[in-house]
Amino acid sequence: MNTQQKIIDTAISVFNENFSATFEEIAVNCNLNRRTLHRYFKNRNELLEACNANMMKAWEEAAIKACNSSTNPLIQLENLLYAGIDSGTKYAFLIKLNEVEPAYTTEISKDYLKA
């Protein structure tokens, strides 16, 4: 696993525990220093964007896998539901971005909230 992905994975874990976590806390959990984090991400919002992109990619892969899991639409739907639950659990902190007026938003999250 490359360093950038390690940072993203650690940030996901840390943000799920403490959404207010700082770069310093994420660095400590990655066994890196803060300067190294800044080499990969300019600021917290950029790291959150990377976590969001990671979730979107993981969800797309899970959805494709669920649809390819069977020719039976009910089984596909069931597997899609479980994939959604798993994704919601892993990326629960992203929900907090939309609970209050966030300082951080993406075009995708804005469109999603309109629906």
- Residues with Cβ within 8 Å of 58's Cβ and at least 6 positions away in sequence, in order, are 87, 90, 91
> pLDDT by residue (tens digit) across 84-110?
888 877 888 777 766 655 555 566 655
Residues 15, 54 contacting (CB under 8 angstroms): no
φ, ψ of residue 42 in degrees (nearest 5): -65, -40
Report the alpha-carbon distance of residue 48 to residue 104 in Å, rounded. Answer: 8
Give me the pLDDT at residue 86, please: 82
What are the structural domains of the chain? Answer: 3-114 (1.10.357.10)
Q: Is the pLDDT reported for residue 11 higher than 90? A: yes
Give me the pLDDT at residue 59, please: 86
pTM over the 0.85 mark: no
> pLDDT by residue (tens digit) across 23-74?
899 999 999 999 999 999 999 889 999 998 998 898 889 889 988 999 999 9
